[in-house]
Chain A
Amino acid sequence: MKVYVINGPNINLLGTREPEIYGYETLDDIAKKCIENGNKKGIDVKFMQSNYEGELVGWIQDAIINKIDAIVINAAAYTHTSIAIHDAFKSFSGFKIELHISNPHLRESFRHITYVAPAADAVVAGLGADGYSHVIDLLSDLPIKIN
């Protein structure tokens, strides 16, 4: 199984940005754990981060071209604004999970709208940085169609 884990703006600041909300683990720590856990289960994990909306859209399109089996996306702030990500995500026919470290619905009201979730198969939020590895650990149990 091939999986893209796509991360949006400011996620590169993990470990330093409001650690009381997002935790002390850095993005490199999380990426390393995801790739290791994936390897154990025969899942090829590619971990990405960008602060640019267009680059995130491009990676979703790459996933379509490269016949990736699943995308886990933490679009961060673009979750609440980006129709472009919504459209690209809709075009991807593999399994789609929206992930958030915190639970956006418990925070400011401007984070209560998600354009990603209605285009996703599942949403995982508020499980902390561990949410990533919890999701990777479970992917091989889900009835995901493998290309």
Chain B
Amino acid sequence: MKKKLLILNGPGLSDLSVYDEFYGNISLETIEKKSKEVCKELNLELDFRQTDDEDELFGFLLKDSEKFDAVIINPVGYSHALTAEFARYRLAIKTLTLQKKPVTEVHIANIFKQGSDITKPLQVPEGEMGFVSGLGVYSYVIAINAISKKLNQHT
């Protein structure tokens, strides 16, 4: 049976015009198109979503979790915020990893380059989780390749 992958994009990712030219003319549409191509090659069923609504974001992750086998999430600021939102994100990811669903966090830009505080630790949730940051649309591609390999090992 075809494995199902959820790619979930968080608040603000509908407009990618802020990214510099290294990433090319990147848009959510080009990311979706490329992700679809790669998933097709790897025989994965793709559900590609974006939401600006926090409740909807966590709803997709938790309430719909029986509908997919793996998740790639671009959480935007959630991974480096020391806030209640981060606690919520952490819990959602932990729930997924406890269900043995492979999860990889992706970012378009290298988030470590943003901000000058080199010693500020990045907040990433517990549990097994991959992390790719700074490869533009290829952050998604590498995550899909890695998740496909992981899903094939599990079966």
Interface residues of A (CB under 8 A from B): 86, 97, 103, 105-106, 109, 112-115, 117-118, 120-128, 130-131, 134-135, 137-138, 141-143
B118: chain A residues within 8 A (beta carbon): 86, 113, 115, 118
Closest approach, in angstroms, between the C-beta of A59 and any C-beta of chain B?
22
Q: How far apart are the CA atoms of A142 and B146 in the complex, in Å?
A: 17
Please tell me if the beta carbons of B121 and A109 are within 8 angstroms of each other in the complex. Answer: yes
Identify which of B22, B110, B126, B138 contacts A120 (C-beta below 8 A): B110
Identify which of A114, A125, A143 contacts B24 (C-beta below 8 A): A143
With contacts defined as CB atoms under 8 Å apart, how many contacts are there between chain A and chain B in the complex? Answer: 89
Please tell me if the beta carbons of B122 and A105 are within 8 angstroms of each other in the complex. Answer: yes
Given A103-B124, A122-B110, the answer on whether A127 and B138 have CB atoms closer than 8 Å is: no
A-side interface mostly: mixed
The 7 closest A-B pairs by CB, nearest first: A122-B134, A112-B121, A117-B112, A105-B124, A126-B130, A127-B146, A125-B131
B125: chain A residues within 8 A (beta carbon): 106
Q: How far apart are the CA atoms of A117 and B130 in the complex, in Å?
A: 16
B110: chain A residues within 8 A (beta carbon): 117, 120-123
Q: How far apart are the CA atoms of A115 and B121 in the complex, in Å?
A: 11
Q: How far apart are the CA atoms of A103 and B130 in the complex, in Å?
A: 7
Please tell me if the beta carbons of B142 and A138 are within 8 angstroms of each other in the complex. Answer: yes
Please tell me if the beta carbons of B131 and A143 are within 8 angstroms of each other in the complex. Answer: no
**Contact mask B108-151 → A, CB, 8 Å, 1/0?**
00101100001101111111111111110011011001100100
B149: chain A residues within 8 A (beta carbon): 130
Let me know if B104 is at the binding interface, CB within 8 A: yes
Please tell me if the beta carbons of A124 and B131 are within 8 angstroms of each other in the complex. Answer: yes
